[in-house]
Structure 1
Amino acid sequence: MGKPIYKTAQDLEKMRKSADLLGRTHAEIAKRIMPGITTNELDKIAYEFIKDNGAKPSFLGLYDCPSSILTSVNNQVVHGLPNNRPLRNGDIISVDCGVFLDGFHSDSAYTYEIGNVAPEIRNLLKVTKEALYIGIENMKYGNRIGDISNAIQKHVEKNNYTVVRELVGHGVGRKMHEAPEVPNFGKAGKGEKIRNGLVIAIEPMVNMGSRSVLQSDDGWSIVTKDGKPAAHFEHTVALVDGKPEILTTFKYIEQAIKMFHN
Structure 2
Amino acid sequence: MPGWLTRIPERTRGSGDLAAWVEPRRPAYLVLDRRRYPEACAELLGQAGQRDFMTLFATTPLAPLIEASPWLVELEVGSEAWLSGEALCREQRLGWAFQPAPATPLTDLADHLRRFFVLDDPHGGQSLVNIQDPAAWTALLTAGSDTTYAQLIGPLGRVVTPTPQRHWLAWQPADSLGNADALPLTQELELALKESPRAWWISQATETPLPALPPEWLERLICLAAGGITHGRDRTRLLPLICQASDATWRDAQAILVDPSLTAVQKTGELERLS
TM range, smaller chain: under 0.3
The normalised TM-score by structure 1 is 0.24
Larger radius of gyration: 2
Higher relative contact order (CA 8 A, sep 6+): 1
More helix by share: 2
